[in-house]
């Protein structure tokens, strides 16, 4: 499996003339996966050899502005470049609880309509990831008002005894999210390649007398 990583932004808190806010692209088999989308990410994409139209998945670590302020603009640009008559699988977006509301409100208040589908999958934090005064019981969230008003998607929770959220799984790899501890609920993403059986050289074994 071939993977290619491009750092689109490594700046913290705010961009600079020569360094963008947080964003990283992973190219895999014709697809592009984006990790964080700080301000100016789409400009950095244009400067790279990557094609933004190939973005199929976006992973957001946390909801600080230097990691998400570029996301609504990027989605709108992708919409302007898309073919409204072509069928397209949803762009899958993963991130902390609240990401759906952020996107819904940003697009609604700016009167922006996307010409392709998106699905937002939110990770519910555990109580120890939030200050006690900010944590609330999310057990009744499924099917509630927040989901009804925003784009479709799943709400993902840690089950008893689990230490990671399963996000993506295919024949080659698994993508999981793990809890991180920051000033706001944060998550790290791990891509794990599945074991691949090797090719047995029968003639070599015969030559060795096996």
Contacts of 41 (CB under 8 A, 6+ apart): 8, 9, 20, 21, 23, 34, 70, 71, 74
- Determine which one of 66, 128, 142, 163 is catalytic: 66
What's the rounded Cα separation, in Å, for the pair 100 and 120?
A: 6
Measured CA to CA, the distance from residue 35 to residue 60 in angstroms comes to 6
CA 30 from centre of chain: 17
Q: How many helices (H) and strands (E) does the chain have?
A: 6, 10
Strand partners, 179: 187
Is 66 tagged catalytic? yes
| 130 token code pair | 């939030």
Catalytic residues: 66
């Amino acid at each position: 499996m071939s993977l290619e990583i491009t750092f689109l932004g490594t700046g913290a808190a705010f961009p600079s003339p020569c360094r963008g806010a947080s964003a990283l692209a992973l190219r895999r088999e014709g697809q592009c996966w984006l990790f964080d989308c700080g301000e100016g990410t789409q400009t950095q994409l244009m400067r790279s050899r990557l094609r933004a139209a190939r973005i199929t998945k976006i992973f957001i670590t946390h909801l600080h502005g230097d990691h998400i302020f570029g996301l609504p603009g990027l989605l709108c640009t992708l919409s302007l470049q898309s073919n409204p008559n072509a069928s397209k699988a949803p762009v899958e977006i993963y991130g902390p609880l609240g990401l759906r509301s952020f996107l819904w409100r940003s697009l609604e208040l700016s009167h922006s309509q996307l010409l392709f589908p998106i699905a937002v999958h939110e990770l519910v934090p555990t109580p120890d990831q939030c200050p006690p005064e900010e944590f609330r019981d999310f057990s009744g969230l499924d099917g509630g008002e927040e989901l009804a008003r925003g784009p479709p998607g799943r709400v993902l929770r840690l089950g008893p005894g689990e230490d990671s959220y399963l996000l993506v799984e295919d024949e080659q790899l698994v993508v999981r999210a793990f809890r991180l501890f920051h000033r706001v609920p944060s998550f790290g993403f791990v891509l794990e390649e599945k074991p691949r059986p090797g090719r047995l050289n029968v003639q070599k074994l015969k030559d060795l007398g096996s």
